[in-house]
Chains A and B, each alone.
With several copies, the nearest count.
Chain A
Amino acid sequence: MEDDLFASGHRACAGCGSALALRHLTKAAGKNSVFTIATGCMEVVSTQYPTTAWGVPLIHTTFENAASVAAGIKEALNQQGKEDTNVIALAGDGGMVDIGFRALSGSLERGHDVLYVCYDNGAYMNTGVQKSGATPFGASTTTTPAGKQSHGKSEWQKNVPFIALMHGVNYVATASIADLDDFKKKVKKALEVEGPKYIHVHCPCPIGWGFDTSETIDQGRKAVESGAWVLYEIEDGNFSISYKPSERIPVKDYLSGQKRFKHLDEDDVETIQDHVDRNWEELKKLEGLDLDLLKLL
């Protein structure tokens, strides 16, 4: 077996879905790749001076700027005549969806030939499970705790893949560590596309979500099987669902395995089920449409 480019000895928690995603992301991208990563779990666990888990060049600067550091790298490498080096900007959901979102949006708009990967573990894990824009509705986090007056997070998660799409991005995809072949295929496909491309990969976190470390894959799978997390691709403005469960399992089966959803009552679960059903229907509709989503302004 070829040596991983994201090496053993990193300090992620046992059972970390995000670390698994990075192992495979680096594998799919291959040696001729340069990464930049935002502050977050994956950076902290992989770069403790004077050792590094990375077998490819990596730079970390701040929490906000992975996308614009990537732009600088890409343009510098182009100037150096190394146009064929993959440049990949990596951030957690906090780093990509929230605090790094201006940088992402600006970079997408300018059209750098960079792959942006958001490893979405659904909250700010590095700092102890605070809500992010990607945290799902109803999840209890340390900043949206369930309490007498609260049922966890009260907003739906931010739809970053579609937001990225609306920037005119030619390749947008969602993925999950529950389907690593799909994820790797998408990474490779994305890297073939000229210009900006965006992949959002769902990475269960035993600590933040509250499940046993052995269930990481299983939780990811339940998200996909229930439709709480939908795998899709949008190529040149054409939307397609990558995987359709023969029958979607109830979203309750997904929620009930996690402490962060423990407090939800039946109404809450129904609300979420409705939402998931509704989205699924709309997405299926969208798939059949003759509509170029890249040409709306």
Chain B
Amino acid sequence: MKQIRFHGRGGQGAVTAAEILGLAASEEKKWCQAFPFFGVERRGAPVKAFTRISDEYIKTRQQIYKPDYVVVLDSTLMDVVDTEEGNPSTIVVNTKRTPEELDLSTGDVQTIHATKIALDEIGKPFANTPMLGALAAATGVVKPESLKKAIKEKYPGKIGEKNANAIQKAYEELKK
């Protein structure tokens, strides 16, 4: 079983990212669970969302305390919340900066300027979908094809296409 935590702000699509990751896993005939941290914070406030992926039916309903991977949609959050909580093995951050500049204790730190990709590909600064591509590249937890299929199913038509492109772009960028 793999457990992933997303950090974002209300409105940035962390929950949607967690959901789409689950959808992608499902495309691969895996079981999944995706859920937000159930807060009442308003738009702009830090939020968390989670995904579990497993080859088997997932029975447990506890929250995720020890994520395998962490995805940070907005690097400004890193001063505000402990994004490394629970010792993830990999952390993927949306930022212009390099992993070194971030100076984290997590073993595998990967960075990507997903907002730029989003602006380029989708025309809006929603970094959540490209960050899924980045996660796929960094960890292989799902295949980028599954992500693209998932996003196209959720958003049929243009929007889905564009988001799929952003996922692909981010995937490739980090794979390099």
Contacts and interface: CB of A to CB of B under 8 A. Distances in A.
A and B touch in the complex (CB under 8 A): yes
A13 B40 contact: no
A11 B43 contact: no
B71 to A, nearest CB: 24
A12 B40 CA distance: 10
A207 B11 CA distance: 10
A14 B43 contact: yes
B37 to A, nearest CB: 15
B43 to A, nearest CB: 4
B44 A14 contact: yes
B101 interface: no
A45 interface: yes
Interface residues of A, number: 8
Nearest to B10: A13
A45 B44 CA distance: 13
A214 to B, nearest CB: 13
Interface string B9-50: 010000000000000000000000000000011111100000
B43 A44 contact: no
Contacts of A11: 40-42, 45
Nearest to B43: A13
A123 B10 CA distance: 20
17 contacts: A11-B40, A11-B41, A11-B42, A11-B45, A12-B42, A13-B10, A13-B42, A13-B43, A13-B44, A14-B42, A14-B43, A14-B44, A16-B42, A44-B40, A45-B42, A207-B42, A207-B43
Interface of A: 11-14, 16, 44-45, 207
